[in-house]
Amino acid sequence: MTAEYDRNPFSGAWLERRSETRAEAGWVQQALSEPGTRFLVSSGTQHLVRRSPDTAIAFLDASHPLVRDYDSDQLVLLGWFQGVRCVLLDTLPGTSGLPAGTQFEELRSLLTELPEPQSAVLTCARALQVWRSRHRHCGTCGAPTRPRQAGHCLRCTSSECGAEFFPRLDPAVIVLVSDGDHALLGRQAAWPAGRYSTLAGFVEPGESLEDTVLREVREEAGVHCSAVRYFASQPWPFPSSLMLGFHATASRAEPLQLDGELEDARWFSAAELSHAGARVLPPRYTIARRLIEAWYQRATGAALAVS
């Protein structure tokens, strides 16, 4: 474990999962009867929040009509958050009867405003929502699936099949390539004007993480890198990735050759990044930003401060 790990957004053991409790047959009744159980309400990939006095998850308790009218298939046991049981209530679009001052919003628009522990909880909830929505039918025989293990398993309802499906993550590498004094950053055309970030890509079957780093950097920028070093990881629920961060070394003498995925790539000196401003750098809640900040501190001995 690195010191940087604890400071990566969405990371940290804010949610005590207690996976052994998912097999308890009466967990729904226990959740409804336990004082203090919190229900996190989601609809598709949107979550119920309130904006006043501060932006926060709009947790409901067991007495609210939305909870009382539950269907057990809609409930997912997330774990224990801040000492109390936390349950995801998966509602249908257009749900009415919401508490005053609350609304459904996408997680991405909330990331800079929510407290860090709540961002981590919604990261888990969103990933589970996406997985559930994409596995409503069995991938083996096509029959409908039904949730089991407190919502963490979807089982085929066909008596002849009975296949079980569990949440899956898409591993992706993200890498800050440097020659010591300069960092290689790229930009995609869809990003805000002037924005640059670290290089990234998904792990392919049969690849190690290190192999993926070498391939992605070579494909996207035409550069051969070495000295691949693991940095830290970050759950990224857009829709269901696990970002695995690395630093690597390459030579600035090697010409850049873009493969079309990037609109541009260039080497930035530490001084350039310091004067570029936040407009150029990826958002603070990304591991890409943490990779850049960690490299800058090693290169200069000072923290990267941008306005």
What average pLDDT is seen over the chain?
92
pLDDT band at 276 (very low <50, low <70, confident <90, very high): confident
Residue 49 neighbours by CB under 8 Å, 6+ apart: 55, 56, 57, 58, 102, 103, 104, 105, 110, 114
Please name the fold of domain 170-300.
Nucleoside Triphosphate Pyrophosphohydrolase (3.90.79)
Among 193, 14, 278, 46, CA closest to 121: 14
pLDDT at 9: 76
Angle 146-74-63 from CA coordinates, rounded to 5°: 150
- 117 close to 125: Cβ distance less than 8 angstroms: no
pLDDT tier, 307 (very low <50, low <70, confident <90, very high otherwise): low
Whether 281 has a pLDDT exceeding 90, the answer reads yes
Residue 6 has pLDDT above 70, yes or no: no
Average pLDDT over residues 253-277: 91
Backbone angles phi, psi at 167, to 5 degrees: -55, 140
Residue 217 · residue 250 · CB < 8 Å: yes
Query: Contact, 183 vs 189, CB < 8 A?
Result: no
Alpha carbon distance 161, 194 (integer Å): 52
Given a cut of 70, whether residue 2 has pLDDT beyond it is: no
Query: Where in the chain are all domains bearing CATH 3.90.79.10?
Result: 170-300
Determine contact, residues 79/121, Cβ cutoff 8 Å.
no
Which range is least confidently modeled, 30-34, 65-69, 86-90, 126-130? Answer: 65-69
Least trusted range by pLDDT, from 5-9, 227-231, 232-236: 5-9
**Closest of 40, 107, 48 to residue 77, by C-alpha:** 40
Q: What is the pLDDT of residue 3?
A: 41
Report how far residue 181's alpha carbon sits from residue 296's, in angstroms, rounded to the nearest whole number: 9
Specify whether the CB–CB gap between 119 and 235 falls below 8 A.
Answer: no
**Number of DSSP helices (H) and strands (E) in the chain, helices first:** 6, 16
Strand-pair partners of 145: 156
- Rounded Cα distance, 156 and 138, in Å: 5
Per-residue pLDDT tens for 41-92? 999 899 999 999 999 999 999 999 999 888 889 999 999 999 999 999 999 8
Phi, psi of 217 (to 5 degrees): -65, -40
Using CA atoms, how far apart are residues 183 and 267, in angstroms rounded to an integer?
5
- DSSP, res 211: H
The CATH number of domain 5-134, selected from 3.40.1130, 2.60.40, 3.40.720, 3.90.79: 3.90.79
Polymer length in residues for the chain = 307
The CA distance from 48 to 60, in Å, is 10
Q: Decide: residue 10, CB within 10 A, 0-12 exposed, 13-18 middle, 19+ buried.
A: buried
Look at 80 and 97; give whichever has higher pLDDT: 80
Dist. CA 111–CA 122, nearest whole Å: 10
> Binning pLDDT at 50, 70 and 90, where does residue 4 land?
very low
